[in-house]
């Protein structure tokens, strides 16, 4: 009985693989370059990607449960539907899919809409799946630490509604728990959706205040300028992605990423420990400077 992990060398996928190995699972990882994978001992590596049909078909052979993760790329929806069709062809019924919180509400955000489309196809194709809907990753803060420490500004336009940010390590562990639950069940389990959230809802002002407290100096919130945010992003990412991030940030301002009643308790019970806090994550970043 084998679990295939796609996106296995990325921020989330690597955590999923490590957590599965800890739990004694038989893991196969889909990677583009096995020489650079650097995965834990005992993990079988399948070379290929989600647009190479034959390599994906080979990777899925003999697999009992699939962890499907698609990066934010222009072909994301095609990748996912190809994987779903080939999984069905291979007789795989059990799956965990990494979507995003409020995928059904952020309807104008390209990568949210794409993930919601995949959710609908998982249902229509009658997969027995857990759909994980994570909020904003705390790990994204690693990309802005120079702006915070060098310029004294928290630059993400996340507004005043708040984002229930979650640590990628918690996402990976919850995903592994669900994969093992489905893999080891005597009968296929029904489809469920889980919001993956952190223990606190962080606003722009609160994020700046936490950074200020941890660093021992004043960090200002940079404000809600989404156009400026897009302009800055275009320096180091494609224009389509920068625009996608801008539209997403505009929904942060109007709606936020707010947990539903019971989300935090449900996840805490699953993990058997508290969820990692934003303050602790910022403290880890500060300690590494």
The model's pLDDT over 53-70, given as tens digits with 9 standing for 90+, comes to 999 999 999 999 999 999
Distance CA 37, CA 24 (A): 20
Helix (H, G, I), strand (E, B) or coil at 44: strand
Predicted confidence at residue 160, as pLDDT, reads 98
Distance CA 243, CA 63 (A): 37
Give all domains of the chain, ordered by start, each with its CATH number: 2-135+168-196 (3.40.50.720)
Query: If 0-12 CB within 10 Å is exposed, 13-18 middle and 19+ buried, where does residue 23 land?
Result: middle
Do 154 and 144 touch, CB atoms closer than 8 A? yes
Strands 63-68 and 2-5: parallel
Query: What average pLDDT is seen over the chain?
Result: 97
Instruction: Tell me how crowded residue 104 is: count the other CB atoms within 10 A of its CB.
Output: 15
Report residue 124's pLDDT band, with 50, 70 and 90 as the boundaries.
very high
pLDDT (average), residues 236-258: 97
Query: Is pLDDT above 90 for 257?
Result: yes
Q: What angle do CA 118, 135, 108 make, to 5 degrees?
A: 55
Instruction: Tell me how crowded residue 75 is: count the other CB atoms within 10 A of its CB.
Output: 13
Predicted confidence at residue 1, as pLDDT, reads 85
Residue of 185, 188, 80, 81 whose CA lies nearest to 127: 188
Report residue 108's pLDDT band, with 50, 70 and 90 as the boundaries.
very high
Instruction: Tell me how crowded residue 70 is: count the other CB atoms within 10 A of its CB.
Output: 22
Predicted confidence at residue 77, as pLDDT, reads 97
Question: Edge-to-edge, what's the strand order for the sheet holding 2-5?
Answer: 44-47, 27-31, 2-5, 63-68, 94-98, 128-134, 192-196
Predicted confidence at residue 230, as pLDDT, reads 97
Q: Which residues fall within 8 angstroms of residue 35, CB to CB, at 6 or more apart?
A: none
Q: What is the pLDDT of residues 10-32, one digit of tens each?
A: 999 999 999 999 999 999 999 99
Predicted confidence at residue 273, as pLDDT, reads 98
Distance CA 185, CA 134 (A): 24
The number of C-alpha atoms within 13 Å of 199 and in the hemisphere containing its C-beta is: 14
Helix (H, G, I), strand (E, B) or coil at 139: helix
Share of residues in the chain with pLDDT > 90 (%): 99
Predicted confidence at residue 65, as pLDDT, reads 98
pLDDT (average), residues 179-204: 97
The number of C-alpha atoms within 13 Å of 132 and in the hemisphere containing its C-beta is: 28
User: Could you give phi then psi for residue 200, rounded to 5 degrees?
Assistant: -130, 150
Instruction: Tell me how crowded residue 274 is: count the other CB atoms within 10 A of its CB.
Output: 12
């Amino acid at each position: 009985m084998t679990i295939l992990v796609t996106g296995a060398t990325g921020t989330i996928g690597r955590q999923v693989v490590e957590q599965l190995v800890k739990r004694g699972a038989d893991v196969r990882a889909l990677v583009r370059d096995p020489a650079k994978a650097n995965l834990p001992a005992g993990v079988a590596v399948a070379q290929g990607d989600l647009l190479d049909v034959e390599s994906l078909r080979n990777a899925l052979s003999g697999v009992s449960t699939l962890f499907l993760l698609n990066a934010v790329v222009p072909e994301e929806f095609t990748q996912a539907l190809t994987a779903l069709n080939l999984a069905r062809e291979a007789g795989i019924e059990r799956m965990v899919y990494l979507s995003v919180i409020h995928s059904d509400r952020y309807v104008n955000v390209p990568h949210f809409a794409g993930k919601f489309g995949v959710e609908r196809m998982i249902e229509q194709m009658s997969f027995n799946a857990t759909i994980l809907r994570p909020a904003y990753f705390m790990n994204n803060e690693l990309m802005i630490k120079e702006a915070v420490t060098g310029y004294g500004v928290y630059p993400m336009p996340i507004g005043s509604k708040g984002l229930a940010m979650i640590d990628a390590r918690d996402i990976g562990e919850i995903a592994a728990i669900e994969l093992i639950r489905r893999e080891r069940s005597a009968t296929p389990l029904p489809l469920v959706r889980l919001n993956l959230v952190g223990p606190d809802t962080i606003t722009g002002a609160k994020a700046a205040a936490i950074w200020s407290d941890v660093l021992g100096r004043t960090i200002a919130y940079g404000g809600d300028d989404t156009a400026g945010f897009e302009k800055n992003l275009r320096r180091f990412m494609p224009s389509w992605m920068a625009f996608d991030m801008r539209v997403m940030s505009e929904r942060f301002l109007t709606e936020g990423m707010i947990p539903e009643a019971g989300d935090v308790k449900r996840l805490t019970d699953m993990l058997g420990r508290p969820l990692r806090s934003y303050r602790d994550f910022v403290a880890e970043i500060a300690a590494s400077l």
